[in-house]
Structure 1
Amino acid sequence: MPTGSIVDSIDAELLKAQTEDLRATVIALADMTSLSRNTVQARLSKLAKQGVLHPFERRIDLVALGYPLTVFILTGVTQRKLTPIAESMDGIPKAIEVHGRGGVTDVLIHVVARDGNDFYHSAGRILDIDGVEQATTALVVPQLAYRLNSPLAQLVDGRDRGGVIKCSPMDAERSLSQTVC
């Protein structure tokens, strides 16, 4: 996982071009950014090695896989047990993201489920982990916007264009996952 800013304006321009056409070849990205093919390939390799580019699975619509429910669980935990708690999450396959937090709660867990009973089972497994003291759940209905253009635009040319990718009502209804609308 990258720490700090490791993406310069050229990297940001390349990433922005890639968001416009996710299946673009190196040659197409070179044309879109006016960079050489070797530069594009070297930059993409560097970004992948540094953890800037996430795995392909992040682009898959979880609703299409049969997981229409997205729930965020905010948990309070025993701090000295944080590492074993995080390791225990590996045994809960529907807990797809786990983030440490500052504030009232300590850990944010992103859970997907097929239905209420499926979620209830995953939540029970999380609450059974030694050191998890309390949990609050938040059901996501629907995802309204996914913002990525603004930070990329700011890096490309130093100003914020306020780019929000708005979801249509149909996309928002089915997009209870990480799908970019």
Structure 2
Amino acid sequence: MERKLAETAKTPLSAVDRKILGALQEDGRMTIQAIADRVGLSASPCLRRIRQMEQAGIISGYSASVDQKAVGLPVSVFISIKLERQRAAELDAFSAAIDRWPEVMECYLMTGQFDFLLRVVCADLQAYEQFLRERLTQIAGVASIESSFSLGQVKQSRVLPL
């Protein structure tokens, strides 16, 4: 996997490739013909470029954006985690544990005061308390947990500034 990431980083993107990526980021359900029209290509070369970017790992997948409030998960919690030790084994064990939990939407290995930053979604404070007690505090090697609750979302974008 490391080799594939290294290859991806070296893959140059043309102006047309960037336009294709921009179109797909705005609307992943766009037809090939609509993308081709938008970027000034015919459908076959447009599809070929998309397939090449998929194979290179530049396009990593397609998904639907779901409103978390609309599906009953209105609470977002940002959790800063400090481990007792920052050895590879402890970092890997923590990563493996949280990878199994669907409530964890994002997890970042950090520099600075904390080792990890998580974004967790849940239905309410009781559900968060249950997550905290039954999952997060059960991981060996966690030295501290700090939770910050989101009052509202100011901006969310999945569109990279290409």
TM-score bracket for the superposition, by shorter chain length: 0.7 to 0.9
Q: Identify which of 96, 114, 122 aligns with 1:105.
A: 114
Quote how far apart the aligned CAs of 1:10 are. 2.5
Q: Which residue of 2 aligns with 1:63?
A: 69
Closer, same or farther: CA 20–82 of 1 in aligned 2, 3 Å: closer
Three-state SS of the structure 2 residue aligned to 1:143 is: coil
Closer, same or farther: CA 13–29 of 1 in aligned 2, 3 Å: same
1:127/1:133 contact within 8 Å kept:
no
Gaps of 5+ in 1: 153-181
Aligned residues: 151
Query: Which letter maps to 1:106?
Result: D
Q: Identify which of 116, 123, 136 aligns with 2:125.
A: 116
1:74/1:137 contact within 8 Å kept:
yes
CA distance in 2, matches of 1:88, 1:7: 36
Could you tell which deviates more after superposition, 26-35 or 5-14?
5-14
TM-score, normalised via structure 1 length: 0.72
Quote how far apart the aligned CAs of 1:147 are. 4.7
Quote how far apart the aligned CAs of 1:93 are. 2.2
Q: Which residue of 2 aligns with 1:76?
A: 82
CA distance in 2, matches of 1:117, 1:5: 47
Gaps of 5+ in 2: none
Query: Which letter maps to 2:123?
Result: R
CA distance in 2, matches of 1:47, 1:121: 42
TM-score, normalised via structure 2 length: 0.80
CA distance in 2, matches of 1:116, 1:88: 22
Could you tell which deviates more after superposition, 39-48 or 110-119?
39-48
Instruction: Give the fraction of aligned pairs with identical amino acids, expressed as a percent.
Output: 26
Quote how far apart the aligned CAs of 1:142 are. 1.3
Q: Does 1:89 align with 2:98?
A: yes
